[in-house]
């Protein structure tokens, strides 16, 4: 009987799995508190426009993966596919823009209609942090350092690698976009159907494609580094210098892009080879235009999110809770009230 089975892409968190989830969340929460991040929570569903415009109306998330519905009042709602846009909405609607810098930690379920894979579900859970209101590269360094500390506290730091790139500022990205558009326009026949649609709207997103034909077509694309202006180069150099000073190793990945439209400057992922081809366990970057895009003032931001399910698969099994000891009276004399 279908009703007795969990919906595809969901799972029951039985006690052992629940202990693993709780272990990830509590470890991350303690680390975030040490860095001055306060815990917050946003609603599981929001008005659809909270996600559609910031993420990008032509992204796969918005076009194919969001769980969107009309409520009884006729308003269009969406189960949150990620939480950065929701956190920014909360900052704006609660009048917190005058209180920057703001440092938040969150955890909870997210929802995307995508093909379930190892450690990836349609209802999945994330931990994440957002640092809003700091334009300097020290903010990027801080959130990456916090991510590294969380992974170290979970005991999996040796099993992950930090991959790092810069997307440049708005001017650099605009110049690079034209170069990429010209390059891929001459190779349309080599692109997947999805990437052909991306070409006019956001050609940089082709680099994020997992399709093998797209990856082959992208190998000879012009590098973004050739189009970075002096300000973008200096910003990225300072991020790298800060990580070097902290002893946080990283690998430069020139083709690394984040899958959402609001990222600028620093982009990063912590990846592992222990979970198959889809090895990202934590990813994030800088999103300096997001607050303004959503109707607030021009405030910079940077953050990351990590999949709890994927992290839970990597950590050692937490010990079960101790068994309680109880004294049970037996017989009429023992059961009699005293």
In the predicted model, what is the mean pLDDT of the chain? 90
> Strand locations in 169-297, DSSP E?
251-252, 264-271, 280-286
pLDDT in tens, 143-193: 999 999 999 999 999 999 999 999 999 888 888 888 989 999 988 989 998
Structural domain span for residue 284: 12-169+229-318
CATH number for 76 = 3.30.930.10
- Does a structural domain hold residue 19? yes
- Does a structural domain hold residue 219? no
Beta bridge partners of 125: 109
- Does a structural domain hold residue 202? no
Residue scoring higher pLDDT (115 or 35): 35
- Does a structural domain hold residue 120? yes
**Is the model's pLDDT at 238 over the cut of 70?**
yes
- Does a structural domain hold residue 44? yes
- Does a structural domain hold residue 273? yes
Place of tokens 């596919």: 81
Q: What pLDDT score was predicted for residue 205? A: 80
pLDDT in tens, 254-267: 888 765 666 889 99
pLDDT in tens, 41-68: 999 999 999 998 877 765 667 778 899 9
Tell me phi and psi for residue 13, to 5 degrees: -95, 90
- Does a structural domain hold residue 197? no
- Does a structural domain hold residue 180? no
pLDDT in tens, 20-29: 999 999 999 9
What residues contact 8, with CB distance under 8 A and at least 6 apart? 116, 122
Number of domains in the chain: 1
How many CB atoms lie under 10 A from the CB of residue 65?
A: 16
Could you give the maximum distance between any two Cα atoms of the chain, in Å?
92
């Amino acid at each position: 009987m279908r009703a007795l089975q969990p919906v595809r892409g969901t799972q029951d968190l039985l006690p052992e799995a629940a202990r693993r989830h709780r272990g990830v969340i509590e470890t991350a929460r303690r680390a975030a508190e040490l860095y001055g991040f306060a815990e917050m929570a946003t609603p599981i569903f929001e008005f659809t426009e909270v996600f559609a415009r910031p993420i990008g109306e032509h992204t796969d998330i918005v076009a194919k993966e969001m769980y969107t519905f009309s409520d009884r009042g006729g308003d269009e709602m969406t189960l949150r596919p990620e939480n950065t846009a929701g956190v920014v909405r909360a900052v704006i609607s609660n009048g917190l823009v005058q209180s920057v810098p703001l440092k938040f930690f969150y955890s909870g379920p997210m929802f995307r209609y995508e093909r379930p894979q190892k450690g990836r579900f349609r209802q999945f859970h994330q931990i994440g942090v957002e640092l809003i209101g700091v334009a300097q590269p020290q903010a990027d360094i801080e959130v990456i350092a916090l991510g590294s500390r969380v992974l170290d506290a979970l005991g999996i730091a040796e099993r992950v690698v930090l991959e790092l790139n810069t997307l440049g500022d708005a001017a650099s990205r605009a110049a690079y976009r034209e170069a990429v558009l010209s390059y891929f326009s001459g190779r349309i026949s080599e692109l997947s159907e999805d990437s052909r649609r991306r070409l006019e709207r956001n050609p940089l997103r082709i680099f994020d494609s997992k399709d093998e034909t797209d990856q082959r077509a992208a190998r000879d694309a012009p590098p973004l580094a050739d189009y970075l202006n002096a300000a973008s180069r200096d910003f990225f150099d300072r991020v790298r210098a800060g990580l070097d000073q902290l002893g946080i190793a990283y690998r430069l990945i020139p083709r690394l892009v984040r899958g959402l439209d609001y990222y600028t400057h620093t982009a990063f992922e912590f990846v592992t080879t222990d979970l198959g081809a889809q090895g990202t366990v934590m990813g994030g970057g800088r999103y300096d235009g997001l607050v303004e895009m959503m109707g607030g003032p021009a405030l910079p931001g940077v953050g990351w999110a990590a999949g709890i399910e994927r992290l839970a698969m990597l950590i050692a099994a937490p010990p079960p809770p101790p068994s309680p000891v109880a004294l049970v009276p037996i017989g009429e004399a023992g059961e009699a009230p005293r």
